[in-house]
Chains A and B, each alone.
Chain A
Amino acid sequence: MSLLEVNHLDVRFALRRGDVQALRDVCFSLDRGERLGIVGESGAGKSVAAFSLLNLIAKPGYIAGGSIAFDGQELIGLSDRALRRIRGHRISMIFQDPMMTLNPVLTIGEQMVECLKAHRRISTRDARAISLRKLEQVQIPSPEARLDQYPHELSGGMRQRVIIAIALLLDPDIIIADEPTTALDVTIQAEIMALLLELCEEHNVGLVLITHDLGVVSQVTQRMLVMYAGRVIEQGPTREIINDPQHPYTQGLLNALPQMATPGERLNQIPGSMPSLSHLPSGCAFHPRCGFVTRPDGSRRQACVDEVPAFVASGNCQAACHMVAEMIERERIPAEEQDS
Chain B
Amino acid sequence: MTTSTPTAASSSTASRWERFRDSYLLYSFKRDPIAQVSLAVFILLVAMALLAPWLAPMNPYDLAQIDILASELPPFWVDGSDPAYLMGTDAQGRDLLSTILYGLRVSLIIGFGAVAMQATLGVCFGLLAGYLGGRVDAFLMRMADIQLSFSTLMVAIVVGALFKAIFGGATFSTYAVPLLVLIIGLAEWPQYARTVRASVLAEKGKEYVDAARVMGLSSRRIMFRHILPNTLSPIFVISTVQVANAIISEAALSFLGLGMPETQPSLGSLIKSGFDYIQSGSWWITLIPGLVLVVLVLVINLLGDWLRDVLNPRLYKG
A101 and B207 contact, Cβ closer than 8 Å, known pairs A106-B226, A142-B9, A145-B13: yes
Rounded to whole angstroms, the CA-CA distance of A102 and B230 in the bound complex is: 12
A115 and B215 contact, Cβ closer than 8 Å, known pairs A101-B208, A153-B1: yes
Most buried by A among B210, B211, B218: B211
Determine the residue in chain B with the shortest Cβ distance to A102: B208
Contact indicator A155/B214 (Cβ below 8 Å): no
Contact indicator B1/A89 (Cβ below 8 Å): no
Note all chain A residues with C-beta closer than 8 A to B213: 56, 87
Note all chain B residues with C-beta closer than 8 A to A106: 225-226, 229
Note all chain A residues with C-beta closer than 8 A to B230: 103-105
Q: Is B43 an interface position by the 8 A CB rule? A: no
Q: Is B149 an interface position by the 8 A CB rule? A: no
Note all chain B residues with C-beta closer than 8 A to A103: 208, 212, 226, 229-230
Most buried by B among A87, A89, A153, A166: A153
Contact indicator B1/A119 (Cβ below 8 Å): no
Please encode chain B, from 276 to 311, with 1 for each CB lying within 8 Å of some chain A CB and 0 for all others: 000000000000000000000000000000000000
Q: Is A88 an interface position by the 8 A CB rule? A: yes
Rounded to whole angstroms, the CA-CA distance of A44 and B244 in the bound complex is: 55
Determine the residue in chain B with the shortest Cβ distance to A96: B207
Contact indicator B211/A149 (Cβ below 8 Å): no
Note all chain B residues with C-beta closer than 8 A to A148: 12-13
Number of A residues whose C-beta is below 8 Å from B?
A: 37
Contact indicator A84/B208 (Cβ below 8 Å): no
Q: Which B1-40 residues have a C-beta within 8 angstroms of A?
A: 1-2, 8-9, 11-13
Rounded to whole angstroms, the CA-CA distance of A303 and B225 in the bound complex is: 56
A145 and B214 contact, Cβ closer than 8 Å, known pairs A101-B208, A104-B230, A153-B1: no
Note all chain B residues with C-beta closer than 8 A to A97: 207
Contact indicator A166/B212 (Cβ below 8 Å): no
Q: Is B154 an interface position by the 8 A CB rule? A: no
Please encode chain A, from 114 to 143, with 1 for each CB lying within 8 Å of some chain B CB and 0 for all others: 110011000000000000000000000010
Determine the residue in chain A with the shortest Cβ distance to B13: A145
In the complex, how many angstroms separate the beta carbon of A285 from the nearest chain B beta carbon? 28
Q: Which A47-105 residues have a C-beta within 8 angstroms of B?
A: 54, 56, 83-89, 92-93, 95-97, 100-105
In the complex, how many angstroms separate the beta carbon of A234 from the nearest chain B beta carbon? 28
Q: Is A12 an interface position by the 8 A CB rule? A: no
Please encode chain B, from 39 to 74, with 1 for each CB lying within 8 Å of some chain A CB and 0 for all others: 000000000000000000000000000000000000
Note all chain A residues with C-beta closer than 8 A to B217: 84, 88, 114-115, 118
Note all chain A residues with C-beta closer than 8 A to B1: 153-155
Rounded to whole angstroms, the CA-CA distance of A144 and B232 in the bound complex is: 28
Note all chain B residues with C-beta closer than 8 A to A119: 216
Note all chain B residues with C-beta closer than 8 A to A118: 215-218, 221
Contact indicator B11/A88 (Cβ below 8 Å): no
Rounded to whole angstroms, the CA-CA distance of A162 and B9 in the bound complex is: 17
In the complex, how many angstroms separate the beta carbon of B36 from the nearest chain A beta carbon? 27
A149 and B12 contact, Cβ closer than 8 Å, known pairs A100-B208, A104-B208, A114-B225: yes
Number of B residues whose C-beta is below 8 Å from A?
A: 25
Note all chain A residues with C-beta closer than 8 A to B207: 95-97, 100-101
Contact indicator A54/B214 (Cβ below 8 Å): yes
Q: Which A270-299 residues have a C-beta within 8 angstroms of B?
A: none
In the complex, how many angstroms separate the beta carbon of A336 from the nearest chain B beta carbon? 52
Rounded to whole angstroms, the CA-CA distance of A82 and B230 in the bound complex is: 28
Rounded to whole angstroms, the CA-CA distance of A88 and B212 in the bound complex is: 9
Rounded to whole angstroms, the CA-CA distance of A30 and B301 in the bound complex is: 61
A85 and B8 contact, Cβ closer than 8 Å, known pairs A95-B207, A100-B208, A102-B208: no
In the complex, how many angstroms separate the beta carbon of B231 from the nearest chain A beta carbon? 10
Rounded to whole angstroms, the CA-CA distance of A145 and B1 in the bound complex is: 14
A145 and B216 contact, Cβ closer than 8 Å, known pairs A100-B206, A100-B208, A105-B230: no
In the complex, how many angstroms separate the beta carbon of A102 from the nearest chain B beta carbon? 6
Rounded to whole angstroms, the CA-CA distance of A84 and B219 in the bound complex is: 10
Q: Which B202-261 residues have a C-beta within 8 angstroms of A?
A: 206-208, 210-218, 221, 225-226, 229-230, 232
Please encode chain A, from 142 to 180, with 1 for each CB lying within 8 Å of some chain B CB and 0 for all others: 101111110001110000000100100000000000000
Cβ contact of B214, chosen from A56, A144, A146, A154, cutoff 8 A:
A56
In the complex, how many angstroms separate the beta carbon of B144 from the nearest chain A beta carbon? 23
In the complex, how many angstroms separate the beta carbon of B215 from the nearest chain A beta carbon? 4
Contact indicator B210/A145 (Cβ below 8 Å): no
Cβ contact of A114, chosen from B11, B12, B221, B232, cutoff 8 A:
B221
In the complex, how many angstroms separate the beta carbon of B210 from the nearest chain A beta carbon? 7
Note all chain A residues with C-beta closer than 8 A to B206: 100
Rounded to whole angstroms, the CA-CA distance of A100 and B214 in the bound complex is: 14
Contact indicator B11/A149 (Cβ below 8 Å): yes
Rounded to whole angstroms, the CA-CA distance of A72 and B206 in the bound complex is: 33
Contact indicator A87/B226 (Cβ below 8 Å): no
Contact indicator B211/A95 (Cβ below 8 Å): yes
Contact indicator B11/A153 (Cβ below 8 Å): yes
Determine the residue in chain B with the shortest Cβ distance to A149: B12
Contact indicator B215/A149 (Cβ below 8 Å): no
Contact indicator A92/B2 (Cβ below 8 Å): no
In the complex, how many angstroms separate the beta carbon of B7 from the nearest chain A beta carbon? 10
Determine the residue in chain A with the shortest Cβ distance to B231: A105
Determine the residue in chain B with the shortest Cβ distance to A101: B211
Rounded to whole angstroms, the CA-CA distance of A118 and B215 in the bound complex is: 8
In the complex, how many angstroms separate the beta carbon of B147 from the nearest chain A beta carbon? 28
In the complex, how many angstroms separate the beta carbon of A160 from the nearest chain B beta carbon? 12
Contact indicator B8/A87 (Cβ below 8 Å): no
Note all chain A residues with C-beta closer than 8 A to B11: 149, 153
5 extra interface residue pairs, beta carbon distance < 8 Å, beyond A102-B211, A106-B225, A149-B12: A85-B216, A96-B207, A101-B211, A103-B230, A145-B9
A–B complex contacts, Cβ < 8 Å, 9 sampled = A86-B216, A93-B214, A100-B206, A102-B211, A106-B226, A114-B215, A145-B8, A145-B13, A155-B1
